[in-house]
Structure 1
Amino acid sequence: MTQQIRPSAARTFVITPVLNEEESLGKVLSEIPAELSATLIVADNGSTDATPQVAAAHGAHVVHEPRRGYGAACWRGMEEVAKLAKPADAVVFLDGDYSDYPEEMTALVRPILDGDADLVIGSRMLGEREKGALPPHSAFGNRLAGKLLLWLYGQQATDLGPFRAIRWDKLQALDMQDRRFGWTVEMQAKAARFGYRVTEVPVRYRKRIGQSKITGSLIGSARAAYWILGTLLRYTREGWEHTEVEVRGTSPAGVQQT
């Protein structure tokens, strides 16, 4: 029987990659459920505003990643998780633009703490969406990527949304490589290949505060779509295999653990 972990007793870490989110970040961090007693890590990707100061004022560990890219910032957050004195049970990825509802985080973490899932995706397609929050081209891209995940990997998916929770040991074993736009789809594709227990929970979605760094323009969206498609195809190559590793010492991605 899998042992359940109370949210307050769990070692939960929240990684928030940010770039110039001073207007929204305080709202995001202040609405993370207190019952999770989560350690907050804000990975700043080169902000020129007061984003790092806002993060520090809300008790977050602030780390800096000079290489631009969503995946690069997420990776830097993972490095910080590994450096902290206590190991993690679950890691949550949450954007800093206030488009997601941080108070729904417990619903994402709960299946992991109950031992029922390895990866939990917050699906905007299954939840309520504010009109205009998800541009039509983004919604179409999500549907297309979901069909490709099913076709190429046998994984049912309604969304590639960034709001997600994953077991720390399982995250390390994925050996995440993408440093740009393909981070979320790489995680889902590899999780399917590795046979992880993946589930989706409905989450609400609203218009973000400020301008999107990715989907705010058709050019940015096209670039992201190209990158995501390439990532999906990359891990179907013949000969790409997963080797189980013990989650001690150095992770396969080179993240030094405590």
Structure 2
Amino acid sequence: MATILSEFSGAKDATATKKVLITGVSKGLGRALALELANRGHTIIGCSRDQTKLHSLQQELAKVSSAKHLLYTVDVRSNTNVEEFVQAIVENELVPNIIVNNAGLINRNGKIWELDAQEFDNVIDTNVKGIANIMRHFIPLMISTNKGIIINMSSLSGRDAHGLFAPYCASKWGVEGLSKATAKEVPEGMAIVSLDPGIIYTDMLVSCLGELALKYQSPQHWASKAATMILNLTALDNGASLTVEDPGTLPKLE
């Protein structure tokens, strides 16, 4: 597991600094959120499978932040990989206050019988099992302090059904159920929530909508709203299914 370290002195406000872990941090919403939070003085612990994009993110973080950040190459689908990730974070004394389980995949547009088993497995393994792997290893660390917020990225497709995206819908409905069940298991002081980010112009949306994706908000615009919302979550939000403001409206896909 490769590590990218970006370290500087003089955080903007040490008393307010949070350590925020973001999976799928190298592109899209994860990258935009990391940069927004870093710009506000918070410490980013990020992971992705794409080492090249992690290097470029490190450089961007260095331009906007005076905090210490750690970026790792991790495949959240691998329980062993995640276990090694946790050990590295503990060694660096960077146990997160907030976790954003953002890593996700979507299937190609197609009816369930037109998609092969491997494509279905990739979506479920990343979107559901990946979150389970992260929670399995990080929740015990948070329990030791009786505090911590975990945000599991859901979707409009996790609260409604959309034809041509059955694997993705199944995974996001799974995220909703996994989040609500785990919320009943954690102690007071912690919160597990599912978050529908809304509809944002990302590679994933382009794969769904093509040129129509251009009409939606940018990841940067989204991140400015999402960061404020995430930072204001408390234990009182435990078990909630939340949505970032102004989520947008999805056109009919079928």
Larger relative contact order, structure 1 or 2 (CA cutoff 8 Å, min sep 6):
1
TM-score w.r.t. length of structure 2: 0.31
Q: Which has the higher helix share?
A: 2
TM-score, scaled relative to structure 1: 0.30
